[in-house]
A and B are shown apart, each in its own frame.
Chain A
Amino acid sequence: MNTLVDSPLTAAPAGTGRVWSKRWPIAVAVLALFGWLLWSVSARQALLLLVGVGLGWALAAARFGFTTGWRHLIEQKDPSGVYGQIVLLAVLAALSMPLLAQFPETQAALGPPSVSLLVGAFVFGLAMQISDGCGSGTLYKAGLGVPLNMAILPLFALGSFAGSAHLNGWLALGALQPVGLVQQWGAGTALAATLAALAVVAVGVGRWSGQRFSFNSMPRRWLWGALAIALFAALNLLIAGQPWGVVYGFGLWGAKAATALGLFDPAANAFWSDPGHAERLHQTLLLDVTSITNIGILAGALWVAPRRPQDARPLTGAQWAVGLLAGFVLGYSSRLAFGCNVGAMVSGISTGSLHGWIWVPMAFAGSLIGVRVRRRLGF
């Protein structure tokens, strides 16, 4: 498949000597930031930076693309990426649910089943195929230096901010209370139900694609990528007390910029006037859990970048315009959906939130349209 963003990520790895000559300044910069955070901000945030670096490294080195995995299933009936995601969800649920039950301080990624969720997840699934990046995908590809994803990032933040500012209006269209399986059934039953549901999905994918789930036939990168991401995501829950997320940090960055420019009054907005959000607007973003892991993911992907030289062919003006618009829509819709593929799907399902299970079919339906739009635009 000849697409812009596939080509740089499948380019031949560079020589070892050249790779390490480019890596040592990155390592020094990350260690310097770690030390400074430890000394001047918070030990927790310093640790979370390293968790983010680990996530970014695993995502980029394994090329663990949620968007690509879905697209390959739809277009080529290749289920390996989706199987990798199922392994990730199963392992992370097995790590997270006992943690949630054992430590009452920790919180699940509980979003409300709502009209907002249905609309947001569908639109997100569509937009992520056009921009070739979900929440984590946009981050790690920006870290790798993929031009469209680097340009999308600020628009993702702007969209996420706009979505959060409008969220209460969307919630007024109809919403139920969040449902947490661990809280309702306990960790053992919730985990058994989650694993059973994932097994049903795996069987369905196997029947549709004609390739049954098998560890032996899965490309290794999907398997080790799933295990590494699950480990770092579980560490995020242990250290931060909340599951891995991406979108909140972007919305916070957008809100800070809009407030500083005098374009937005947080006190007049239902979401940003909430005491917790208002406090974070006044604090440095380095104290925000999601922001620090996002920075870490970018740095982790940058570490991998020297092994994956960029040789992307240029985009047309129309492709740039549509890609950037899709980036804004990604941010907006992920707020409506109470998370992207990370906050809603990975963290939602692995911590037993019903909204994660609603998010997946809606986003997949959006992706069915998104891959066609993408093809039509010649990406």
Chain B
Amino acid sequence: MLSITALRRWIFWIGLFAFIAWDYRASDPVNLRLEPPIIAAGSGLPVSGGHCARPK
């Protein structure tokens, strides 16, 4: 029998997994040919990720 804490955890993780799975299916397919460099520093390519400190 699951404890209430374990049940809450399962709900949380199943919800998170379901959201990620739905997003993966609903999003554009991943284009592996456009894969970003493994290590950005030293790659010579500009960084294009989003960050909360940036106003844009």
Q: Which residues of A does B touch, CB under 8 Å?
A: 40-44, 47, 99, 102-103, 105-107, 109-112, 142, 145, 147, 150, 153, 167, 171, 175, 178, 237-243, 245-249, 251-253, 256-257, 260, 271, 274, 276-277, 280, 282-290, 295, 298, 302, 310, 312, 334-335, 338-340, 343-344, 347-348, 353, 355
Contacts and interface: CB of A to CB of B under 8 A. Distances in A.
Q: 5 tightest A-B contacts by CB?
A: A241-B40, A241-B47, A109-B53, A247-B52, A343-B52
A334 B42 contact: no
Q: Is the interface of A mostly helix, strand, loop or mixed?
A: helix
B45 interface: yes
Contacts of B50: 248-249, 252, 276-277, 280, 288-290
Given A142-B12, A284-B30, A348 B53 contact: yes
Nearest to A348: B53
Contacts of A347: 53
Contact of B19 (A253, A312, A344): A253
Nearest to A103: B41
A214 to B, nearest CB: 33
A271 B23 CA distance: 21
Given A106-B47, A282-B27, A287-B30, A238 B40 contact: yes
Interface residues of B, number: 37
Given A240-B47, A284-B23, A285-B23, A44 B40 contact: yes
Given A153-B12, A248-B50, 20 more contacts: A40-B32, A42-B36, A43-B38, A105-B45, A111-B53, A145-B5, A175-B55, A239-B38, A240-B49, A242-B40, A242-B49, A245-B52, A276-B48, A282-B28, A290-B51, A298-B16, A312-B5, A343-B53, A344-B53, A347-B53
A298 B15 CA distance: 13
